[in-house]
Structure 1
């Protein structure tokens, strides 16, 4: 078995920490993407009198079984942290990035929920290397929703944008008993969805088994913020990012409008 395959099997076994980017990484997207701003321009200003939705109200806005063909949806994924107290960084200015990657609110609010969507390949009967690669070709998207009073949602998106610029040299994440050094942060082109959006990428070495590349996108609709973080277990050590599926973003945003 190839060394890279062993690394991917290890990644499968430790998927619970993937939501925290504890084995993941770096500045994805093309060279052209990295030259563009990660944020789209705000098209709508949130009302200063807007009231945050409760966590219970946010749960009703999550995608549910049957909402998106080809995906399994888990609204009770235990791999996701339940509170910000479970996620620590060595640089306070980088904390919004860690929170967004963990499905937590990147801004100042207690109203947040998270869930995962999994897209698996068609199973094959062959036990060879190609079949193993196919079996690991599992795409997982971690989604977080958070809601804010007043202009809190706009401030949350700005916090992510500011953190991306401030943390280019990396930072350390501690969560779920694991510690991971993020070696690089870069801005990547966002989808332009919602009222405004921002994209960033982080990089970390997978214990000498290659560099994992992860892109995260944060999108605001009114006073609600959604975050999207996607991995593919078969390509974690390839150095290339798995794009956040626009189908997932579109389906989730349709619930928010």
Structure 2
């Protein structure tokens, strides 16, 4: 056994929480007890019904198509987060790994950074450099407040899930480098990591709407490639404990 690895033989309780912020919010809704699928379906229904209503009210059907793609990717992200969370919590894993993954809330920091960068791009960088800014293309020269508000809400939802995906992949690679596991646990962790890859690839659904936006295309494409590469490395390097 290499010295850089530590064995994971006992169940330990995480000290700083063991759920994503998203899961905590859903679980804290008063008087509501939703399954994972019900929570995701509710999320899709609220966003998509609001999106279609505003598209009808403001005649923004082009924006509705792009918005539907964003809602779809966010929904896939919600399912991925739940599967990663449930899959991780069901295993015997080191406390430090669980604390980093769930209790650090680094995914929220990454989401805020991504969202601020996206808003800056949409409302400052893009209008200064593009002949047809994306916001103007989708919402017209004088965008109405309510559709833009919904757009930003959906984009925040999407950025949060993207931030979570990136953090999960980074922590997974650290976990594979730092620890070793029994064969059954290692196989389950590989499935968890591949779930993150699936979510990353689902983000390619956004590409048709930003194919003429080099910065956004590079950001989305770069994220998909990075998450895929890091997660696959985590899958390939997870080490199985030798028998006692």
TM-score strictly above 0.5: no
- For the pair shown, the structure with the greater C-alpha radius of gyration is 2
Length-normalised TM-score, structure 1: 0.28
Report the structure, 1 or 2, having the larger strand content. Answer: 1
